[in-house]
Amino acid sequence: MTDKPALIYTTFGSSAEAHQVARTLLDEQLIACANHLAPAVSQYVWEGELCEEREYPVLLKTMKSAAKAAMARVKALHSYDTPAITCWSADDSDADYAKWLAGQIAK
């Protein structure tokens, strides 16, 4: 298999939004799985002001070939002006899992 798994991480302002965006990406076959993590407290500087907010992290599992499209779709659906959307390769994934993952992504 030349295509490899990729992981996309992002956060949302509400659990409902996190679930809705993940469901859309699953329906569109851009991701195979979404792991909703426990609420987190994020600290950051926005427009010169120190902020501290509760956010809802999500780890989205896809393939490298679909990662850019999945990231673009997250950005389009996201309510934040500038959402944190990061992606990294998961080249050392279990072969059986990677095969299942690849089978869930639209070609």
Alpha carbons 81 and 86: distance in angstroms, whole number: 15
pLDDT at 1: 58
DSSP state of 105: S
Distances (CA, A) of 71 to 45, 66, 76, 84, 88: 23, 9, 9, 10, 11
Residue showing tokens 């072969």 = 95
Please name every residue paired with 40 in a beta bridge, in sequence order, or none if there are none: 55
Tell me how long the chain is. 107
pTM: 0.94
- Convert the pLDDT of each residue in 51-84 to its tens digit: 999 999 999 999 999 999 999 999 999 999 999 9
